[in-house]
Amino acid sequence: MDFRLYSGVYYDSRKIVPGSIFVAIKGEKSDGHDYIPSALEKGATLIVAQKNLISTNLEELLQKHPDKFYLVDDSHTALAEISNEFYGKPSSKLKVIGVTGTNGKTTVTHLLQVLLDDKSSCALLGTMGLKEKLDSPYEDLKHTTPLAAETQEVLSRLVSEQKDYLVMEVSSHALDQKRVGGIDFRGAIITNLTQDHLDYHVTMSAYFTAKAKIFLQTKLYAIINLDDEYAEQFIEKAKSSNLKIITYAVNQKADFQAINIEFSDKGLAFDLLYNGSTTRFTLKLNGLFNVYNSLAVIAGGVQEGLEIQHISKLLAQAPVVAGRFELIKTAHSPACIVDYAHTPDGLLNVLKGARALIPSGASARLICVFGCGGDRDMTKRPKMGKIADDLADYVFVTSDNPRSEDPEQIIADILTGIPDLSSTKVIPDRASAIKSAIEFATADDIVVIAGKGHEDYQILKDRTIHFDDREEVRKVIKDPLKNAT
């Protein structure tokens, strides 16, 4: 069957146009099979349905229109395969590098775009959207990795615009749900694997398995964080796909190793040990986690033919990614760090990074403002509470994106991880919590506002409102600068 002969590929029946393909996908909240009659009425000429989800009502339609039905074992796989063919297998005409892991994907892809766009034209696809050029705005695509139809359409568009590279964040959901099915990755970068998304994957083993699927679609190389707990397992999976394996680390010898690491309010610096030589790197980014992110990027740049010295110059000029350890400060205000950290490991790394900026022996305090998202993994809430309590001198527990959950209950879950609440204050309203924390701090203190980073919205039970942590910080410290986006 030649899927290129149809007018479009859709899984949303509202978008159907005459002569198109409708792929019925069963999601978490709705089942596309319920909308097959609507898709037929709107002119779909091919209905792709999952065999085990055909109801009695659909049996009647199938018998009535047998030539319009294409039954498959898995609709997600079918959507990926059909979309890939419909759009002319665009990843075969692009150099696509996939970045996956729990934390660091956004920073790694943004820094890789800086390197590869200097070499040739490079686009970026990820949490913040589609960024076709270094200086272009983000196009909001709603998901870190959209479903296969939109993903393949984006790749097709980039091919038509004669892009050479695409660096893309690849979430575990995307790999598990075949959103990136049909994409040939040139290389894969693994940042780390720590607790997240267990509301979906249930176990860390299943989470690992989902992440490791990227190697099955990768053609040349795998770049792996050797210091990560799951490094050896990732290496074994990459070996089974016959990939060239490149490692990076801080705590042990690797292909790319960072030593003599230094942090300041200006950024980070380290010596890179690679291929028997030492090169000094300085970046505007901060925190040990960004040393790891930088090593992954350097390894990627070398695999794509860039010289180490040139990479060093490019990274020294690279801007901080919006909402990733983003420092906001005036002459008389505390240093406020806004970060997207929303996992236990993410919060741990950001607080450690902030603590490292306080000079030894100084009396400055580390203050943390954070909450946890609703309708997500509940088991990480007390863990994040404990991490904040252990690493910060004072904690303001607030709301994040409560979604359909009661914000007070989410906060209660967090507090179970904090045995002594004497240094903890609960302020459910996030704007008030940020204001109170900054006003509580002295000019020498550091205030970390974690969880939302670049996001400019807050998802409540009945609506989504405009909300930006960076804007809230600037209101309090009276910084007239606009958000760095």
Question: Residue 417: its pLDDT value, please?
Answer: 98
Q: What angle is formed at CA 473 by the lines to CA 469 and CA 474, rounded to 5 degrees?
A: 120
Question: Residue 481: its pLDDT value, please?
Answer: 54
pLDDT (tens digit, 9 = 90+) per residue, 223-256? 999 999 999 999 999 999 999 999 999 999 999 9
- Which residues are 277's β-sheet partners? 274
The residue type found at 371 is G
Q: Which residues in the chain land under pLDDT 50? A: 482-485
Rounded Cα–Cα distance for residues 121 and 138 (Å) = 16
The H or E element that residue 234 is part of is: helix 231-240
Paired tokens of 211? 């992440």
pLDDT (tens digit, 9 = 90+) per residue, 172-204? 888 988 899 999 999 999 999 986 666 666 688
Question: Residue 478: its pLDDT value, please?
Answer: 86
Question: Residue 483: its pLDDT value, please?
Answer: 38
Query: pLDDT over 70 for what percent of the chain?
Result: 96
Residue 379, burial from CB neighbour count under 10 angstroms (0-12, 13-18, 19+): exposed
Q: For residue 442, how many other CB atoms are within 10 A of its CB? A: 11
Rounded Cα–Cα distance for residues 144 and 106 (Å) = 10
Rounded Cα–Cα distance for residues 298 and 285 (Å) = 14
Q: What is the pTM of this model?
A: 0.90
Rounded Cα–Cα distance for residues 162 and 220 (Å) = 22
Domains along the sequence of the chain with CATH: 3-85 (3.40.1390.10), 88-317 (3.40.1190.10), 326-477 (3.90.190.20)
Exposure class string for 63-101: b at 16+ Cβ within 10 A, else e: eeeeebbeebeebbbbbbbbbbbbbebbbebbbbbbbbb
Question: Residue 223: its pLDDT value, please?
Answer: 98
Residue 340, burial from CB neighbour count under 10 angstroms (0-12, 13-18, 19+): buried
pLDDT (tens digit, 9 = 90+) per residue, 56-78? 788 888 988 899 999 999 999 99
Paired tokens of 207? 């989470």
Handedness of CA 101, 105, 108, 112 (dihedral sign): positive
Question: Residue 485: its pLDDT value, please?
Answer: 32
Q: For residue 436, how many other CB atoms are within 10 A of its CB? A: 17
Rounded Cα–Cα distance for residues 271 and 259 (Å) = 5
Query: pLDDT over 90 for what percent of the chain?
Result: 86
- Show contacts of 204-213: CB within 8 Å, 24+ apart: 207/172, 208/233, 210/172, 210/173, 210/175, 210/176, 211/100, 211/101, 211/172, 211/175, 212/237, 213/175, 213/176
Question: Residue 482: its pLDDT value, please?
Answer: 45
